[in-house]
Amino acid sequence: MRGRTCPKCSRSALVLRVRRPLVIPEELHRNAPEVHALGPENTGSALIRLAAERLGLKDLGESDVLDIGCGVRFTQVIINRDIPIKSYTGIDVYRPLIDFLRREVDDPRFSFFHWNANNTKYNPEGLKITPESRLPVEGTFDVIWLFSVFTHLEPSDASALLAVMRKYVRPGGALLFSAFLDDTIDSFEDRIPDYPLSFPCYSERYLRTLVVANGWSVSSVSPPSSENPPLIQHHFVCRPTRPYP
């Protein structure tokens, strides 16, 4: 809420603009039921704090953030709890979610884009991701994050997406993503074959190899968060290692 002088009034008057809360329809919340039960704004604010801490930032007030697989909770909590952010660009494969956010969010810091990328679990009819694929956005970003995206990717898609994202990070920027890690396996295992990509596991060594091969270095790998259930699985912070051609 902020005040200004009304130019049409004979004397100064306080004109108040009341920001209405962003209310998300239940069917657009796509987190796991046990996580959703904790409250989207609660989990969203906790993950934003965790991301800032892992990236060595006080907050996101000076950061242009690209969220791939954005869902709705980060937009909801940033707006409703007035969390500092320079800009937030959300990408998702679920068009109804993007259409809703475009229609309901009236804030110049936010923009939303549908990406028809293939995923066996969430978008089986989409286009296969390749290293030459382009995201539906322009420009580059200080922070790219993906929560619960690599947790549903097989290795060729994970590698291709790492290559794609390298085009969109600024030289001093960072990438944060979560994944299921299991060092009892050599490289990759889709743990529940009857439900493809519901629980795909990587060895840390193998996932590090994919990261480095696509122009990133690994700054840190952190364990799952302490909540039950965890709000985030193992998570990587990566930095670009070479100029993008």
Q: pLDDT (tens digit, 9 = 90+) per residue, 166-206?
A: 999 999 999 999 999 999 999 999 999 999 999 999 999 99
Write the pLDDT tens digit of every residue in 88-124.
999 999 999 999 999 999 999 999 999 999 998 899 9
- As a whole-number percent, the residues of the chain with pLDDT over 90 amount to 82
Q: Are 1 and 14 in contact (CB under 8 A)?
A: no
Going by C-alpha positions, the residue among 116, 164, 114 that lies closest to residue 141 is: 164
Q: Using CA of residue 152, residue 156, residue 159, residue 163, what is the dihedral sign? A: negative
- Where do the domains of the chain lie? 26-240
What's the CA gap between 89 and 31, in Å, rounded? 19
What's the CA gap between 80 and 177, in Å, rounded? 24
CATH class assigned to 26-240: alpha beta
Contacts of 149 (CB under 8 A, 6+ apart): 68, 69, 161, 177, 178
Going by C-alpha positions, the residue among 61, 67, 27, 26 that lies closest to residue 44 is: 67
Predicted confidence (pLDDT) at residue 41 exceeds the cutoff of 90: yes
The alpha carbon of residue 95 and the mean position of all alpha carbons in its chain are separated, in whole angstroms, by: 16
